[in-house]
């Protein structure tokens, strides 16, 4: 378990490791930043879950409403089907009535023809009787060869007249009966036609209402689709946030591993410092063997005295080296390696009094922070002034500021730090006077 003091020191030291996002490089995060971002994203997920719950409620409400519409649509379809059956039956009845009326009309026409023919025959007989009975009954009597013949002829005439009358009366009665039936059928047809019109109107009303319900059903489908799209969008956001949290967890684990590794390195360095102190301490300029790689140069040309090395000091990590040679105040500070200025502080207007809040709360005072690549970064602190700006690309050896005593400082010196993957490392492993 890492000590509380070590944890605080490492967190504070890396709190502003990459203050600006430059050249699409990944911003290094502290444990505190990771935890804060993790909690923020969890809160966003909770908000999304609340939105999803509300969304599910809307979906259920729409589905219930849609079910009601479907029930109404089914009912109206059944009613329309029943009306169609009634209309079909009435149409058949009307067709049957029309056929019966036509048959009756045909019968009347035939009877009328028979009557006309009988009338013509009856007229001919009457004419014949008129002509033959010019002297009334005398003609019949004179025309008879005997009394019996006379009587027979008279009776024949009477029978003919009676027969014709009976025939005509029968035909007329049939015509009256047929006409009565025809009128009844026509009345029935009119009633059926009126009923058919009423059913057609009712059918139209039902179809109009059905169209309205179908329109409402289409609207609910659109609403449900919109809700589904919103649900998919929220779930995608939720998945993205979960992925971010997973990445933060991985970054957290990496930082924890880096802290553990750094602690081991610091312990080794502390032991080395103790061995050096036992051998005489930091009484003069310290020269080290040039590093095998990295491409860094000494940040204070002409000034080489190291007043404080990398390691634990007063119970906490001193995360860089202090270059405090005589006459260094106002001396030029150069970029140890080419890179992009990630952040600066140029607002500390004091010199020499300890101000821990100056320099973004870390006591750095005026400083320059340079990002060199995806691995390395450097910081130059306690400057009297800064002459570069964030986002500016600087060349190795270019002057970026001047040595001062701003921030938490007890004398003019340059506090120089090198970062590897967001963690501070011993600069003397990469630079030498």
- Please give the pLDDT value at position 265: 59
Task: Work out whether the CA dihedral 251, 425, 269, 413 comes out positive or negative.
Answer: negative
Instruction: List the structure tokens of 41.
Output: 């994203």
CA distances from 338 to 345, 369, 398, 419 (A): 19, 12, 8, 14
- Please give the pLDDT value at position 1: 32
- Per the DSSP assignment, residues forming a β-bridge with 414 are 323
Give tens-digit pLDDT for 338-351. Answer: 999 989 998 887 66
| Separation CA 331–CA 401 (nearest Å) | 9
Low-confidence ranges of the chain (pLDDT < 50): 1-28, 134-135, 137, 141, 276-293
The domains of the chain, with CATH numbers, are 21-281 (1.10.287), 283-433 (2.70.70.10)
Instruction: List the structure tokens of 354.
Output: 């300890």
- Please give the pLDDT value at position 322: 93
The DSSP symbol for 26 reads P
Given a contact cutoff of 8 angstroms between Cβ atoms, the answer to whether 109 and 116 are in contact is no
Which of 342, 339, 356 has the alpha carbon at shortest distance from 296? 339
Residue carrying the six token digits 């009565």: 180
CA 241, distance to chain mean position in Å, is 17
Which of 42, 422, 63 has the alpha carbon at shortest distance from 246? 42
Given a contact cutoff of 8 angstroms between Cβ atoms, the answer to whether 29 and 10 are in contact is no
Residue 228 CB contacts under 8 Å (≥ 6 apart), including other chains: 59
Instruction: List the structure tokens of 132.
Output: 């033959």
Q: Is 401 helix (H, G, I), strand (E, B) or coil?
A: strand
Residue carrying the six token digits 């502290």: 30
- Please give the pLDDT value at position 272: 55
- Per the DSSP assignment, residues forming a β-bridge with 308 are 322
Given a contact cutoff of 8 angstroms between Cβ atoms, the answer to whether 323 and 413 are in contact is yes
- Please give the pLDDT value at position 396: 94
- Please give the pLDDT value at position 24: 32
Which of 308, 272, 319 has the alpha carbon at shortest distance from 6? 319
For the whole model, what pTM was predicted?
0.37
| Separation CA 427–CA 142 (nearest Å) | 173
CB atoms within 10 A of CB 90: 20
**Backbone torsions φ then ψ of 42, nearest 5 degrees:** -65, -40
Give tens-digit pLDDT for 207-264. Answer: 888 788 788 878 878 888 888 898 898 888 878 888 888 887 887 777 677 666 655 6
């Amino acid at each position: 378990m890492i000590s509380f003091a070590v944890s605080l020191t490492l967190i504070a030291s890396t709190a502003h490791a990459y203050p600006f996002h430059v050249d699409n490089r990944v911003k290094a995060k502290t444990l505190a930043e990771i935890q804060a971002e993790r909690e923020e994203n969890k809160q966003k997920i909770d908000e999304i879950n609340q939105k999803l719950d509300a969304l599910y409620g809307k979906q259920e409400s729409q589905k219930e409403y849609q079910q009601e519409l479907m029930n109404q649509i089914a009912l109206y379809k059944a009613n329309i089907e029943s009306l169609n059956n009634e209309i079909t039956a009435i149409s058949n009845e009307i067709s049957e009535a029309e056929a019966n009326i036509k048959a009756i009309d045909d019968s009347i026409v035939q009877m009328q023809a028979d009557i006309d023919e009988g009338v013509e025959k009856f007229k001919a007989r009457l004419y014949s009787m008129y002509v033959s009975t010019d002297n009334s009954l005398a003609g019949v009597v004179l025309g008879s060869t005997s009394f019996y013949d006379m009587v027979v002829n008279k009776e024949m005439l009477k029978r003919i007249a009676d027969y014709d009358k009976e025939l005509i009366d029968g035909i007329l009665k049939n015509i009256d009966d047929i006409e009565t039936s025809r009128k009844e059928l026509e009345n029935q047809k009119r009633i059926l036609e009126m009923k058919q019109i009423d059913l057609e109107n009712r059918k139209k009303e039902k179809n109009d209402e059905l169209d309205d319900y179908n329109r409402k059903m289409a609207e609910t489908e659109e609403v449900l689709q919109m809700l589904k799209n919103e649900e998919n969008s929220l779930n995608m956001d939720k998945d993205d946030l979960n992925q971010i949290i997973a990445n933060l967890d991985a970054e957290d684990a990496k930082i924890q591993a880096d802290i553990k590794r750094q602690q081991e390195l610091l312990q080794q360095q502390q032991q080395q410092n103790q061995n050096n102190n036992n051998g005489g301490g930091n009484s003069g300029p310290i020269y080290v063997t040039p590093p095998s790689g990295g491409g860094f140069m000494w940040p204070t040309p002409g000034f080489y005295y190291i007043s404080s090395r990398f390691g634990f000091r007063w119970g906490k990590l001193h995360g860089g080296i202090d270059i405090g040679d005589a006459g260094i105040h106002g001396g030029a500070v150069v970029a140890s390696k080419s890179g992009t200025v990630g952040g600066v502080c140029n607002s500390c207007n004091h010199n020499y009094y300890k101000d821990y809040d100056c320099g973004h709360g870390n006591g750095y005072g005026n400083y320059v922070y340079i990002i060199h690549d995806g691995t390395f970064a450097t910081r130059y602190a306690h400057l009297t002034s800064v002459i570069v700006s964030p986002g500016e690309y600087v060349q190795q050896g270019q002057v970026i500021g001047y040595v001062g005593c701003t921030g938490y400082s007890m004398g003019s010196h340059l506090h120089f730090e090198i970062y590897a993957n967001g963690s501070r490392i011993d600069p003397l492993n990469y630079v030498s006077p």
